[in-house]
Structure 1
């Protein structure tokens, strides 16, 4: 009886666990399908009242979590600043964790303040370092002069090498820390003596945007010892978090000028097999002159890359695990192979920075955004983070999203949604807004703000409509997180080509995502081929030398990743430089019959200076097996190896990301083009029953692919996105394939009325126009930010009443709640501004009400014209999108309201 009772009890417990599996299950479960946001703490001037108020607001608005980053504070509030990691700061931090748990919100934190890592615990010994070289030309028989950092005008430096050369030939190392003046005894016998003095110096970089108590030198990211000391300051707070913190975070690598670390001579020799001090003339040249010099520089860059991975990133990851949390990291900007760095953490994070000129009709970009300096966001950059996640089976890929999408107070949700879709297309499934600032409720609008737009906190002009975007993201990420990538192609990322490019004095290859990305990604042959694959309907993951080592050869000559991902083919695109290890690996696979192809040419050069005849013989032997594997058009070989090409999508300018589920295949498809796509398409992996799901409207359409019906009908307007998946259920709406498209423009009756419902700085009087107009054409409304209700009337004939199923608007600035004949239809906030009309709602005579909300550009223009002091922060204070002092007083009036057309359609 006891055994029976125990079994029943266990079954009940299992049932209850399964029943509530989708809800919160304690500190280990967080709502990752909902969007999260950066949460800046100015001056860490937070208190329990403000924390509760804001966390409740974020939870109600549909956020899944927040990421704490303390920064510089607001002037006049210094008494409320909490020194970073002080007992008072810790008390508020733990209160955040308690409140977040109550509200089912997750919390991440930066391991420091501002960025990059650094602070008061970082001594000069542990700070970011660089090397500098001084040359002293002498004559035979001269005496070596006294050398010191002071005489060389390097007062904060120390000597780490004094080498004597005869011309360009190394003769002897003269410096010893044990006998620092012994070099003075050396008798010069060289014909062309040149002394090379190498100084280890400090970059003197301080933490950017540091919070009170977090100021200090930036950490040496090439030293594990430095990190191990740095992390000790965080051990108590992470222990006190008691499992209620989700992850610790490392921001993008912005350690300027760092190119050295202690013991680098020994590290370099161990890695490369020769002493770098024997090659100092190469390091002082403005530009390399031959291949050997280029290879020396590449050895140097490769060593830095290995250090940033092994000494910093892996140490950061280990510390996270030891502390019971996840590691989340932005690798971009680092002088290493970004794929390997992203592969080294739990949650790799990319970044979507700046404006992108989508050709979507009605999509606006900020003309003040400087793409020459900051670059244009690129899906290939995102895939450097998502590819290793797919390959290794990491569940989450994140993206810092909407940073500097437009100038302050100007960004609408219609501008945000396409970039959200594009990061999803790049493989992201856990989006972070950039971001939201802690701002006390008692501080008047616009409150406390961080200078790097876009603002997603409760003072944002689109706050009331933000739950709509949050719900859209939740629906998308629910599908994206419960599926696996279905890439069939591996595309090798040629890091050695980057390390061999444009070398010379002071060169560091930091792979940032701004203007420099043109050099190392967009304008390269890799960039060309990556774009060609995507634009021709092929889905590829990018792979590094390190990831290639982890491949297992699978059945049917496939490549199997550690996560069980099966790839059908490997391409090396126009690779100039390759390691012998990788060359021999792929050569062996070719001999075994596995599908590996070199695009344009096989590797032309080995990648290292330390070379021998024996190594050259091995290189030539490996190359010999690859010469027949050079191709110039990969489409034929991909077809031969069964790689699925989504021709119908690429030909219709539709961008997709294909994944796998328990039911089969899942496609996320976006129309980011200028044209409506309305056609019958064939998807490479959709067979049998399927479901089309529109995540914005939640509309579902079910259908069946068969021998009689080989295509599915898809209509996507510019800006729309859709999921299509294998689906066995037979119920649901069937698509009316024979229904021809019908559309009619609504002819409005004259006399459009606008009633202003709420807003600032004051409520304008009622307006009337003959036709729809932006309310800002009236001089009395040009400072207003808020809600204005448009009342419009129109009549329909019998044909329109029969056909009309959707209503669509053009040129709404910037969103609207729509009511038709007294019934709410919904909200329009993303392009296309389109809503479904319930049956029988339209009449012969109709009344349409649009409650239109606008961005706050005109309101902030008013404050600046009135010289209201709101830009009152320490450090950088507040800058515009061009990093100039922010001043909206001379801005032109931003159009607001509705001045477009209204169309009715049947689909």
Structure 2
């Protein structure tokens, strides 16, 4: 029994009468978190390496350390990293193991979730046909001359082509007037083998540069005999990843003038960042006339097939704007899918008149033969149809790999669900499947699509105009005007984003709900995310972020999840936690705590551990692993002692799910799509927190009460901040005007126009009229409108001063972060030292008239903080935090006066330092010494002269005795272990006092310490690293360890291990 915990609990119960019922429940739930507050875990079944006995033991281990929910992912990884096992996906034995897992979890009280398809991303499998998959719009062109009676077979783009529409329009002037038709002479400072290939009209053949001595900057000159007027440039890449900077120049009056500079990026050809991996790059510019043009290429040497310098205008970045090519790296910033307005086209003959686009779809036979009486003139006929993007679910075993389901249609959601989750559920008797509660959708990594079966009809319903006349924009042609063409593309991207949320996510949720299951979703995507992260997350039952233990991944994902949860009324915000790359087996809880604490300050309040890999082979240790994640599995050395870390997580998660987050500012993310994050501009000063908010929530959920912007679920904000955009749709601006009229305050620039083609141009006039009413004159920085006000042209500090809103936490050092929750239970602030140094600080909390308390989530201790100063709007509470230490400052009890002046965190007084010898018992079965070893002094195992100790991994039991003759009364007594790597389970005189795993490395001994001789036992555990290094020195047949992921060699660096001390008995006067 943990006597100290028992005593503390009894004391807490005695205090319950002093506080409200809500705060009493808060206290009890913190000391002993309820069963509903247990972390989750990704439970990966790697590459067919599973067994019935293994999953049983996995579940028992999870339950033992306090894990409450496991999400099963059937992962098929690269064979060179994870050799495949014998129990193939969907084999009879696989079905038995799956049933065993769910039934065992049901008996043991462990909730189960299933990834909605094999692999972790996204939603697909062999059951998805091409016509049910993600598809994009492709077009095949022919030119015909009228008048004539046409009967012609139209080409199909590729197999699985599904016709959508056949359109015809008069060919615009100069449509194909390419400089290559004017017999250009090409020269370059680079040694191209056949430079003429760059203008031969063939986009398949690469123009190669000979030799290895290539210039740092490449220039290509194009010269023609007569003046040529260029309005656009299209660069076609070869099938090779490349990236470079380009500049187009024209020679006029003997001087070279810059026409356009741009970045050419085709560095990532994966289909999940665009269904056209090597799409051309198009740019537009004001008409430039000359006989000589020069293209300068720097910061890269891209492989090119064709340069099209066109007299016709083209829509700049038309491939990107239709999502054929998306952001190339994992973290698209807020403005990645925003583009500047391109130059207008003054000659109407150069553009397509949408009124003259003819729909010939009904003139095409089922065999693809077009019969049409062609009017006089030159006509372009384009046959549009859908093609599969070809993206598959991954990483999955071959038996489970297939096309990804259509993400902008819900027609196949139920089919997809029934084909995998439904079959799993039906294969398990109802009495055995009570644990199966969740359907899981990991981060979105399957890229874009831009069309589906009912797209045209839904587009017309949403925007009030027919999209078909605007489809020629997809080939880069200008329809109406460049501005109108861009507006159509904006509408298309916005509709795609909305449909991904309301068709894919909501469709999957609806299918799950039919079977009584819920949908768990990560609301972002590192590779080709086509939706809007807030609306996308809002359609799930539970939303989640992600963070890696090292690096910065997670810096936008966690706030994306918490913002979606807050504005859509979801209490629990999960995060895939402690994902990692790099060396295996190196991490342990002390190294995880800093980043985990950081996630709590981003709004995360439910931790999902990444990753528990199932262990099917009892004779192999450390067992099956992957090249990513932290090893939260039963074969890891510290897994069972890790319960102390889980207990810490549970206490933090419990408190952070109480009340509501206190975030003063809502940053509007804008209406553009896709969108994976928001922007904080102007930046929020230290001591305040924020959420991102979207148009849907502003329109449908946001109201004003007492000058605050409030949501139905209890969240509130003092300030709505608009981004630096010139666009906003009028219906949104109308709602913002109504909010301001009722007393809201907004900060940001006035919009000037709508981004949409809907109701153009009337919508633009409506936006300007509303903006003038709201913002007043352009010089106005503060304009009253109704009961509210509109601020602009100032930083955030000035705006907050106008609101007379002081910092939620003032005087907070840069390396100390916080999170604030408030409700009937009071106010609680989570505070974390993110540095490796101890720190003393004097934060001022925006609370008045209440007693501060310190709630230690590591130990579960609760105590008053006697030293505090009440100010008019804040209470200053001095704190001292050890490296990476954290805790909760809780305000729940009324108090009238300042504190009594006693120090909140007094220095420990050393009563005795344990200098005697230690008897240390290692496990001989793990190659440790067969007999106990005496340590005269504490020593790092990795520096011990005995290689059985130096190479040891596992647990070792330290035993010693010490004498405590003078035990002071009225003081808190602790055993300080100094330092221990990785963890230490402490017993004193037979009483279990807890596990020490983070600074300060000490445990309360108040109830177990005896006057006289005391027996101390510390069970210390380290990581697998040192044993793996030791085994690497042995011949293969002599090794006892096995893991498919083992980067360790005899030259690898050992990890510190053991009880390092100094060990002291200390007293603290609170």
TM-score by length of structure 1 reads 0.78
Deviations 1:550-609 (A, max 9, x none): 3353432322212133333322232443222111211232234322222xx223442213
Deviations 1:757-801 (A, max 9, x none): 127752258586978445246482554322356789999999999
Please identify, of 423-432 and 285-294, the stretch whose mean Cα deviation from structure 2 is larger: 285-294
Kept in 2: contact 1:436–1:455 (CA 8 A): yes
Which residue of 2 is the match for residue 338 of structure 1? Answer: 533
Which residue of 2 is the match for residue 131 of structure 1? Answer: 137
Query: For 1:775, what is the secondary structure of its paired residue?
Result: helix
> Aligned residue pairs: how many?
816
Which residue of 1 is the match for residue 942 of structure 2? Answer: 775
Structure 2 CA distance for aligned equivalents of residues 783 and 186 of structure 1: 86
Structure 1 CA distance for aligned equivalents of residues 562 and 635 of structure 2: 33
Which residue of 2 is the match for residue 102 of structure 1? Answer: 107
Q: 1:265 aligns with which of 443, 456, 472?
A: 456
Structure 1 CA distance for aligned equivalents of residues 61 and 102 of structure 2: 16
Which residue of 1 is the match for residue 62 of structure 2? Answer: 58
What do you get for the CA RMSD once the two structures are aligned?
Answer: 4.5
Structure 2 CA distance for aligned equivalents of residues 545 and 162 of structure 1: 35
Give yes or no for the alignment of 1:648 onto 2:813: no
Please identify, of 668-677 and 308-317, the stretch whose mean Cα deviation from structure 2 is larger: 668-677
Which residue of 2 is the match for residue 858 of structure 1? Answer: 1026
Structure 1 residues 842 and 178 mapped into 2: Cα distance closer, same or farther (>3 Å)? farther
Kept in 2: contact 1:692–1:701 (CA 8 A): yes
Q: 1:415 aligns with which of 569, 591, 596?
A: 591
Q: 1:391 aligns with which of 567, 578, 585?
A: 567
Give yes or no for the alignment of 1:327 onto 2:333: no
Deviations 1:491-542 (A, max 9, x none): 212242xx3xxxxxxxxx473xxxxxxxx55xxxx1454xx33x51112222
Which residue of 2 is the match for residue 116 of structure 1? Answer: 122
TM-score by length of structure 2 reads 0.67
Give yes or no for the alignment of 1:432 onto 2:599: no
Deviations 1:255-275 (A, max 9, x none): 135333223333333333444
Instruction: Give how far 1:96 is off.
Output: 3.6
Which residue of 2 is the match for residue 615 of structure 1? Answer: 763
Structure 2 CA distance for aligned equivalents of residues 215 and 764 of structure 1: 49
Query: For 1:56, what is the secondary structure of its paired residue?
Result: helix
Please identify, of 897-906 and 238-247, the stretch whose mean Cα deviation from structure 2 is larger: 897-906
Instruction: Give how far 1:172 is off.
Output: 3.1
Deviations 1:92-146 (A, max 9, x none): 5454444323322222222222231112221121122233345567788898975
Give yes or no for the alignment of 1:893 onto 2:1020: no
Which residue of 1 is the match for residue 443 of structure 2? Answer: 252
Q: 1:551 aligns with which of 687, 701, 716?
A: 701
Q: 2:411 aligns with which of 201, 219, 225?
A: 225
Instruction: Give how far 1:223 is off.
Output: 1.5
Instruction: Give how far 1:436 is off.
Output: 0.9
Q: 1:169 aligns with which of 338, 352, 369?
A: 352
Give yes or no for the alignment of 1:36 onto 2:40: yes
Which structure has the higher relative contact order (CA within 8 Å, separation 6+)? 2
Kept in 2: contact 1:163–1:197 (CA 8 A): yes
Structure 2 CA distance for aligned equivalents of residues 259 and 778 of structure 1: 65
Higher strand share: 2
Query: For 1:118, what is the secondary structure of its paired residue?
Result: coil
Deviations 1:419-440 (A, max 9, x none): 2222222222222111212222
Which residue of 2 is the match for residue 9 of structure 1? Answer: none
Which residue of 2 is the match for residue 5 of structure 1? Answer: none
Which residue of 2 is the match for residue 318 of structure 1? Answer: 510
Give yes or no for the alignment of 1:442 onto 2:618: yes
**Which entry has the higher C-alpha Rg, 1 or 2?**
2
Structure 2 CA distance for aligned equivalents of residues 222 and 869 of structure 1: 55
Please identify, of 696-705 and 52-61, the stretch whose mean Cα deviation from structure 2 is larger: 696-705
Which residue of 1 is the match for residue 730 of structure 2? Answer: 580
Query: For 2:812, what is the secondary structure of its paired residue?
Result: helix
Instruction: Give how far 1:60 is off.
Output: 1.2
Kept in 2: contact 1:774–1:896 (CA 8 A): yes
Deviations 1:716-775 (A, max 9, x none): 223112122233399xxx987248854799999999878461277522585869784452
Structure 2 CA distance for aligned equivalents of residues 455 and 286 of structure 1: 53
Kept in 1: contact 2:519–2:540 (CA 8 A): yes
Structure 1 residues 857 and 651 mapped into 2: Cα distance closer, same or farther (>3 Å)? closer
Structure 2 CA distance for aligned equivalents of residues 285 and 794 of structure 1: 83
Give yes or no for the alignment of 1:712 onto 2:877: yes
Structure 1 CA distance for aligned equivalents of residues 575 and 366 of structure 2: 52
Q: Which blocks of at least 5 consecutive residues in structure 1 are unaligned?
A: 1-17, 23-28, 357-374, 500-508, 512-519, 872-876, 881-885
Structure 1 CA distance for aligned equivalents of residues 385 and 104 of structure 2: 51
Structure 1 residues 229 and 467 mapped into 2: Cα distance closer, same or farther (>3 Å)? same
Structure 1 residues 849 and 230 mapped into 2: Cα distance closer, same or farther (>3 Å)? closer
Give yes or no for the alignment of 1:827 onto 2:995: yes
Kept in 1: contact 2:55–2:615 (CA 8 A): no
Kept in 2: contact 1:568–1:642 (CA 8 A): no
Kept in 2: contact 1:491–1:570 (CA 8 A): yes
Structure 1 residues 275 and 190 mapped into 2: Cα distance closer, same or farther (>3 Å)? farther
Structure 1 residues 109 and 413 mapped into 2: Cα distance closer, same or farther (>3 Å)? same
Structure 2 CA distance for aligned equivalents of residues 771 and 41 of structure 1: 41
Q: 1:304 aligns with which of 480, 496, 506?
A: 496
Structure 2 CA distance for aligned equivalents of residues 301 and 737 of structure 1: 61
Query: For 1:183, what is the secondary structure of its paired residue?
Result: strand
1:472-871 to structure 2, matched below 5 A, reads: 472-496=648-672, 499=673, 509=674, 511=676, 521=678, 526-529=679-682, 532-533=683-684, 536-551=686-701, 553-598=703-748, 601-627=749-775, 628=783, 629=790, 630-641=792-803, 643=805, 645-648=807-810, 650-651=812-813, 653-685=815-847, 687-703=849-865, 711-728=876-893, 737-738=902-903, 742=907, 755=920, 757-758=922-923, 762-764=927-929, 772-776=939-943, 778=945, 780=947, 781=949, 783-788=951-956, 812-817=980-985, 826-836=994-1004, 838=1006, 851-861=1019-1029
Please identify, of 435-444 and 177-186, the stretch whose mean Cα deviation from structure 2 is larger: 177-186
Instruction: Give how far 1:856 is off.
Output: 1.3
Structure 1 CA distance for aligned equivalents of residues 1034 and 145 of structure 2: 71
Kept in 1: contact 2:865–2:904 (CA 8 A): no
Higher helix share: 1
Kept in 2: contact 1:590–1:625 (CA 8 A): no
Kept in 2: contact 1:222–1:311 (CA 8 A): yes
Kept in 1: contact 2:923–2:929 (CA 8 A): no
Q: Which blocks of at least 5 consecutive residues in structure 2 are unaligned?
A: 1-21, 27-32, 173-350, 776-782, 784-789
Kept in 2: contact 1:332–1:338 (CA 8 A): yes
Please identify, of 289-298 and 741-750, the stretch whose mean Cα deviation from structure 2 is larger: 741-750
Structure 2 CA distance for aligned equivalents of residues 759 and 396 of structure 1: 45
Structure 2 CA distance for aligned equivalents of residues 222 and 640 of structure 1: 44
Query: For 2:622, what is the secondary structure of its paired residue?
Result: coil
Please identify, of 625-634 and 168-177, the stretch whose mean Cα deviation from structure 2 is larger: 168-177
Structure 1 residues 230 and 407 mapped into 2: Cα distance closer, same or farther (>3 Å)? same
Structure 1 residues 290 and 33 mapped into 2: Cα distance closer, same or farther (>3 Å)? same
Query: For 1:394, what is the secondary structure of its paired residue?
Result: coil
Give yes or no for the alignment of 1:148 onto 2:155: yes
Query: For 2:407, what is the secondary structure of its paired residue?
Result: coil
Instruction: Give how far 1:633 is off.
Output: 2.2
Instruction: Give how far 1:696 is off.
Output: 0.4
Deviations 1:383-403 (A, max 9, x none): 222223223432322111111
Structure 2 CA distance for aligned equivalents of residues 643 and 106 of structure 1: 44
Structure 1 residues 253 and 30 mapped into 2: Cα distance closer, same or farther (>3 Å)? farther
